[in-house]
Amino acid sequence: MYHQLATRFGRNAHQISGREPLDNEALYRHVPSIFAREAHDSRSERYVYVPTIDIVEGLRREGWFPFFAVQSVPRDGSRHGHAKHMLRLRRDEGIGKAEAAEVIIVNSHDGTSAYQMFAGMLRFVCTNSMIAGERFEEVRVPHKGNIEHDIIEGVYAVAEDFPRLIDASESMKSIQLSEDERRLLGEVSLVARYGEDESPLRPEQIIEPRRREDVDRSLWTTFNVIQENVIRGGLQGRKRNAEGRIRRAQTRAINGIDQNVTLNRALWTLAEGMQRLKAA
């Protein structure tokens, strides 16, 4: 079985991805908080604890398999075994296709997160892992009550959005953008990434493809190129220091789970905005 210790989340996280479903040995070696046998000491008696691995096992029986997992590395070492983690699960139906729909699960056992589930999509050519925007189903299950049942039901609720997710991607593939429109999408994506801070990059840099397969003016490809460049970082830019001097700076990858989810969803929403603009 082929597994790859990936580095997209940088030094602040442990993660693993595989071309085949990840087994428990691989998960335990790289994302141990999934296997925590009890909640963190800070949780009260009202906190209903269900190990994430129990959810994974239940989903495996339903035909859902983990292909990616990541765990944050908290500053407080006592929380390491209970830290926030994220898994991407999918069925085998995507084999041989350009993309595959996924369910993303985020959780922790230290009170920093409820169970959260989102719809997503993996693009195999570049292993881009996208998360659908705010118009798609998002399920949150707090740590109380019959959460194991609620989480399994939540996965199926998210999966019900898969046809709409695939339709959205196919529609984006059919939309061609002018150079000005591609640059505009790059501009607003940089705002999503850096907010009010000065961006070290120009829009032209994040719409520049990293591989020949992405030399395409479709909205779908442009969105994917932007997403990869923004999430993975590694681009050479310029940044103004405290003295007002311009210096060279390499953009950083998005390390945090929360930031990755939030930015991924924002980029998808921006692409949908361009889709609606072109359809008007």
d(CA 4, CA 249): 28
Are 19 and 141 in the same domain?
Answer: yes
SS3 category, 40: coil
**Torsion, Cα of 4, 10, 13, 16 (10° steps):** -10
Are 48 and 138 within one domain? Answer: yes
Same structural domain, 157 and 190: no
Residues 223 and 143 occupy one common structural domain: no
pLDDT in tens, 40-62: 566 666 767 788 899 899 999 99
> Token pair of 28, please?
């335990």
Q: Which amino acid is at 196?
A: E
In sequence order, what DSSP letters do the residues of 36-79 get, joined into one string?
-SS--TTS-TTPPP--HHHHHHHHHHTT-EEEEEEEE--SSGGG
DSSP annotation of 161 reads T
Q: What is the pLDDT of residues 82-125, one digit of tens each?
A: 788 999 999 876 556 778 899 999 988 776 678 899 999 988 76
Specify the pLDDT at position 37. 77
Structural contact between residues 121 and 100, judged by C-beta atoms closer than 8 angstroms: yes
Task: Please report whether residue 170 resides in a domain.
Answer: no
Structural domain ending residue among the three candidates 135, 165, 195: 165
Q: Are residues 21 and 137 in the same domain?
A: yes
Say whether both 130 and 205 belong to one domain: no
15: which strand partners? 70
In which region does residue 226 sit, left (phi positive, over 0), alpha (psi from -120 to 50) or beta (all else)? alpha
Does one domain contain both 10 and 131? yes
Q: Which of 130, 165, 200 is the last residue of a domain?
A: 165
Parent domain of 227: 175-279
Q: Given 165, 193, 208, which residue is the final one in a domain?
A: 165
Do 158 and 194 fall into the same domain? no
Least confident span in 41-50, 184-193, 223-232, 244-253: 41-50
- Kindly report whether the global pTM for this prediction surpasses the value 0.75: yes
In this structure, are 204 and 115 located in the same domain? no
Do 236 and 267 belong to one domain? yes
Assess contact for 33 and 79: CB atoms under 8 A: no
Look at the chain and report how many structural domains it folds into: 2
The pLDDT value given to residue 149: 87
In a domain, 203, yes or no: yes
Compute the mean pLDDT over every residue in the chain, rounded to the nearest whole number: 85
